[in-house]
A and B are shown apart, each in its own frame.
Chain A
């Protein structure tokens, strides 16, 4: 263990504390806004502190939309997506990073290319594909693509695999491991920080996704959370503060996931004989 020098620690603390404040202040403002009455919320000049604190805003939001059912749907989609992304992206990425196979470079360019297609133009063609597969109004279109390796994850994991020394691979080969076994038993456990990053990324995008659920889901009992939140927007209601309350409520599960995966970012937790 190094002996951290004092000056460095102080500088680090300063940077982190200042930036944490910058990060959090606006967030606290939003939380306060969610606790105001509409009148106070729209008042000019701003009244920063809710008076009184309208905790019932959260209760109302809970009652107005079926957040429970939507939450379960969101959870199904998100968990399936995360599992799919972790497995498929890491496997594909391993092959790109560590194995030689025909057309590897062209295929990798293809992966990069996929990342660059503007999502808007994919909406109609993909809708038609899923229609013919009979997946309209099911949750399948929302997670299936994650099982087929999304380019972002491939790219992220590939970079992680690239930074692992070659010796591990050679040692595994000597032990008679197939490439798949080498990937599964040796390389994958060494990339926990990146797997955690991918988990959070996938969780976040899927949890907050709006366009695909709106387009693919038609029956209310299949809706996901963001649809529920946006439905509150009903153009004429004069209750915009509910939107913030609802949005904040949907953050809680992601925060839990973050806390859960946090330990993978902590130095040492990912050590796998690297020392």
Chain B
């Protein structure tokens, strides 16, 4: 049996090998049956969506009237749209700050929490509360810290004699502040995924390492890291995709009281692709243009993910 634990993208021809092609094996049949829910999902919901949105992207479509085919006009407009490029840059910037920060901090927390300490349940719970809070709550919560007039951050800055900041109203600081809040909110969930991954690390491996005299750091480096590299890969891929599609946070936190057209400021410095797409589509009724943005976003994400999947062969360790 082929090693089932890797998708071998460098060998996509694998499935068309003669022995598979001639007759569906017993296992092959079972495989198809077991993935049938997803097949239905794809055929009924996704395929139509893709076709429709691709057609929209080639049309002038305001939702209120039927789409009108215009060819690649939306895509050429996009090339010259400065705000689009700014939004793309902001999205990349946000992702590059957010993903590594969240992954590393979540891993540290998970390792710390994966021990028999007193009051563990409470600690896990504490990290989980921001995860389940709605962004509305987070907005008010973040305000307590980053409010320019009376927030905790500025209070501390002025106590230690540094100049006060405008935080979300500062073109340079707005994205870093949003990232800090996003890490605060999301870390508990990533931690939970890591914790689940850590459960699969057999105790005896640690014991063996201890017998060989390995210290804490060594054990972490040589036992924990390789064994949860699969989980880390998962976390990286998922959080890259979701961060690229981040929308609600920025809408709520920069939208000046829920106004979609005001979000993304100041001066478009926190405008990200999803927000731009949403604004163009639903607030300005340019669904054709929005669909074109969506396709570009989709292709970018696809390429990034393929690169990540390709690179995983280099560092992800699966069971031997």
Contact = CB atoms under 8 A, between A and B. Distances in A.
A adjacent to B, CB under 8 Å: yes
Interface in B143-159: 144-145, 147, 149-150
Contacts of B188: 23
A120 B278 contact: yes
A145 B41 contact: yes
Contacts, number: 313
B124 A265 contact: yes
Given A100-B2, A124-B63, A129-B44, A27 B133 contact: yes
Interface in B111-129: 112-117, 120-129
Interface stretch (B29-37, B69-77, B81-89): B29-37
A117 B52 CA distance: 13
Interface in B1-28: 1-2, 4-5, 7-9, 12, 14-15, 20-21, 24-25, 27-28
Contacts of A117: 46, 49-50, 53, 294, 298
A258 B125 contact: yes
Main secondary structure of the interface of B (DSSP, over half): helix
Nearest to B204: A275
Contacts of A103: 15
Interface residues of A, number: 109
Contacts of B7: 104-105, 108
Contacts of A107: 35, 38-39
B45 interface: yes
A13 interface: yes
Nearest to B34: A95
Contact of A267 (B44, B46, B114): B114
B212 interface: no
Given A99-B31, A155-B237, A262-B124, A145 B45 contact: yes
Interface stretch (A53-61, A64-72, A197-205): A197-205
Residue of B4, B125, B309 most packed against chain A (CB within 10 A): B4
A12 B112 contact: yes
B31 A101 contact: yes
A247 B133 contact: yes
B308 to A, nearest CB: 10
B101 interface: no
Interface in B126-181: 126-134, 136-137, 140-142, 144-145, 147, 149-150
A213 interface: no
Given A148-B41, A155-B238, A163-B318, A121 B34 contact: no
A52 interface: no
B262 interface: no
Given A104-B15, A115-B241, A265-B195, A92 B35 contact: yes
A112 B310 CA distance: 14
A16 B37 contact: no
A30 B141 contact: yes
A164 interface: yes
Contacts of B189: 200-201
Contact of A24 (B126, B140, B230): B126
Interface in A193-241: 193-194, 196-197, 200-201, 204, 208, 226, 229, 233
Interface of B: 1-2, 4-5, 7-9, 12, 14-15, 20-21, 24-25, 27-35, 37-42, 44-46, 48-50, 52-53, 56, 63, 108-109, 112-117, 120-134, 136-137, 140-142, 144-145, 147, 149-150, 184, 188-189, 192-193, 195-197, 199-200, 202-204, 206-207, 210, 216, 227, 230-231, 233-234, 237-238, 241, 245, 247, 258, 274, 277-278, 281-282, 287, 290-291, 294, 297-298, 301-302, 305, 309, 318-319
Those 3 A-B pairs whose CB atoms lie nearest each other, nearest first: A101-B31, A193-B196, A148-B41
24 contacts: A8-B216, A16-B123, A23-B130, A27-B137, A88-B37, A97-B5, A101-B24, A101-B30, A101-B35, A105-B8, A111-B38, A125-B53, A148-B37, A150-B41, A156-B193, A156-B234, A163-B200, A193-B195, A233-B258, A250-B134, A262-B125, A265-B192, A266-B120, A275-B202
